[in-house]
């Protein structure tokens, strides 16, 4: 029976539904119990589905095991893969656990419960292996001929080839150059169009949650300077050369001592709100909640070790003030050791993370639909007043867009 995927975060919410109250319950996990475990049935943790019995489940799914003598259980095997157990979710009559998201070596289609005293219970239960689930990529706008890495879970290659079939929109196949349990690296094929990428492994076909070369929600494509630069000085920082990802890109450049707002290349102003209060371009649909959206863009960091970049939106006409009351996000990729310099990368920032003020003394601000007009980037803060004040900054950016999560 195909069941609904539930995350481990559901555990706390369903504790009462499966008949226990937590670690203060008198019948919590007791590895010294002499009882032999017995399973009566297994069901979903969702109270609305409490009358459904499960004879199988998907990797990662949270399930409730109902029976007796369960308080002594210290190990549960799904096939030959051991599940992570929390003693707080084990009582005499119930256990809540997640089906491991690990491929078994031997498929027995059983669950094996073992107590601290070695008493066992074997119960028929099959684990369904999902199709590949791709959540993100190194660069959504990777050029043809370059390498792109897809990240996800349930990445089990085809047994016949030891690899995957990866198809880009336009029905063009990519060459897989490397793969493991959490990533697949491919060479982007010529002729690929905008859209979702499909990945076929041993247990089915999965589609990417993102779109390759996504253009929906684009508000700065760097091709027309006048629409996003109110001062027209950054034209000197727009390039279309061998470093380009897709046409023109903007370089924000300077040093930690050259951050003056009106003369530096370390600021960007997308002037979108007109004098009558309307916008040249709607950044999201009418009635939409910013909390449901992401700011995405591609960037290449060449030099940047200091001076974080403040980002914020504003519904005000002809304004630019980092001291305002707008909710800001402070971008600090130089503090992330996993960020590779010199490579184009897709950045994805939930709009719900826009919540601080300039000094980061306030962290509970939030964006509203009315704020989604102008957009600003301003390199500020950091160590600009110490010995590192002259550190260079060079960051390429392209394809700024607002997309639904």
**Which listed CATH number (1.25.40, 2.60.120, 2.60.220, 3.30.70) goes with 218-404?**
2.60.120
β-strand 165-168 against 172-179: which pairing, if any?
antiparallel
CB atoms < 10 A from the CB of 240, how many? Answer: 12
Q: How many CA atoms lie within 13 A of 253 on its CB side?
A: 15
Do strands 147-153 and 183-187 pair parallel, antiparallel, or not at all (unpaired)? antiparallel
Please state which CATH class domain 133-207 belongs to. mainly beta
Domain spans of the chain, in order of start: 10-128, 133-207, 218-404
Q: Give the model's pLDDT for residue 139.
A: 96
Q: Which two tokens stand for residue 46?
A: 């969702």
Residues 6+ apart with CB under 8 A from 211: 140, 194, 195, 196
Rg (CA), the chain: 26
- 139, with CB counted inside 10 A (0-12, 13-18, 19+), is buried
How far is Cα 179 from Cα 140, in angstroms, rounded to an integer?
A: 18
If phi > 0 it is left, if psi is from -120 to 50 it is alpha, else beta; for residue 62 that is beta
Are the C-beta atoms of residues 57 and 3 closer than 8 Å to each other?
yes
Per-residue pLDDT tens listing for the chain (405 residues): 333 333 433 443 444 444 444 444 446 889 999 999 999 999 999 988 888 999 999 999 999 999 999 999 999 999 999 999 999 999 999 999 999 988 898 999 999 999 999 999 999 999 999 999 999 999 999 999 999 999 999 999 999 999 999 999 999 999 999 999 999 999 999 999 999 999 999 999 999 999 999 999 999 988 876 555 544 444 557 888 999 998 989 888 888 766 665 556 788 888 899 999 999 999 999 999 999 999 999 999 999 987 889 999 999 988 888 899 999 999 999 888 777 889 999 999 999 999 999 999 999 999 999 999 999 998 887 654 555 667 888 999 999 999 999
Contact (CB, 8 A) for 280 and 274: yes
Fold matches, 133-207 and 218-404: no
Q: pLDDT value at position 381? A: 73
Burial class (CB in 10 A: 0-12, 13-18, 19+), 278: exposed
Contacting residues for 270 by C-beta, under 8 A, at least 6 apart: 219, 220, 227, 228, 229, 374, 375, 376, 400
10-128: CATH architecture: Sandwich (2.60)
Asked if residues 83 and 68 have their Cβ atoms less than 8 Å apart, the reply is: no
CA separation for the pair 3, 55 (Å, rounded): 9
96 contacts 11 by C-beta, under 8 angstroms: yes
Burial of 162 from C-beta contacts in 10 A (0-12 / 13-18 / 19+): exposed
pLDDT at 255: 81
pLDDT value of residue 27: 60
Q: Is 242 exposed, middle or buried (0-12, 13-18, 19+ CB in 10 A)?
A: exposed
């Amino acid at each position: 029976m195909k069941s609904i995927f539930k995350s481990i975060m559901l555990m706390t919410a369903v504790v009462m539904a499966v008949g226990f109250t937590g670690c203060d319950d008198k019948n919590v996990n007791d590895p010294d119990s002499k009882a032999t475990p017995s399973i009566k049935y297994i069901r979903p943790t969702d109270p609305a589905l409490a009358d459904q019995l499960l004879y199988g489940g998907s990797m990662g799914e949270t399930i409730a095991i109902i029976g007796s003598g369960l308080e002594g259980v210290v190990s549960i095997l799904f096939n030959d893969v051991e599940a992570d157990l929390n003693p707080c979710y084990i009582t005499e009559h119930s256990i809540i656990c997640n089906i491991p998201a690990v491929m078994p070596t031997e498929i027995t289609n059983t669950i094996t419960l073992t107590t601290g005293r070695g008493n066992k219970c074997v119960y028929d239960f099959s684990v369904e292996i999902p199709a590949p689930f791709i959540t993100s990529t190194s660069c959504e706008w990777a050029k043809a001929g370059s390498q792109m890495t897809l990240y996800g879970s349930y990445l089990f290659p085809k047994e016949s080839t030891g690899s995957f079939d990866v198809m880009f929109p336009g029905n063009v196949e990519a060459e897989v150059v490397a793969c493991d349990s959490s990533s697949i690296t491919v060479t982007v094929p010529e002729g690929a169009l905008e859209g979702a990428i499909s990945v076929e492994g041993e247990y089915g076909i999965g589609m990417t949650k993102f779109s390759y070369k996504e253009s929906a929600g684009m508000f700065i494509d760097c091709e027309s300077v006048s629409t996003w630069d109110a001062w027209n000085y950054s034209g000197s920082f727009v390039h279309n050369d061998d470093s380009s990802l897709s046409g023109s890109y903007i370089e924000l450049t300077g040093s930690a001592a050259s951050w003056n707002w009106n003369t530096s290349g370390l600021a960007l102003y997308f002037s979108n709100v007109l004098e009558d209060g309307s916008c040249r371009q709607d950044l999201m649909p009418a009635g939409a909640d910013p909390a449901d959206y992401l700011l995405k863009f591609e960037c290449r960091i060449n030099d940047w070790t200091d001076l974080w970049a403040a980002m914020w939106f504003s519904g005000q006409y002809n304004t630019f003030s980092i001291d305002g009351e707008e909710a800001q996000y402070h971008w600090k990729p130089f503090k992330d050791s996993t960020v590779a310099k010199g490579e184009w990368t897709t950045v994805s920032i939930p709009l719900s993370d826009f919540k601080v003020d300039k000094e980061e003394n306030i962290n509970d601000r939030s964006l509203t639909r009315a704020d989604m007009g102008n957009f600003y980037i301003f390199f500020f803060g950091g160590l600009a007043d110490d010995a590192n004040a002259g550190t260079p900054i060079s960051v390429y950016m392209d394809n700024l867009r607002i997309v639904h999560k």
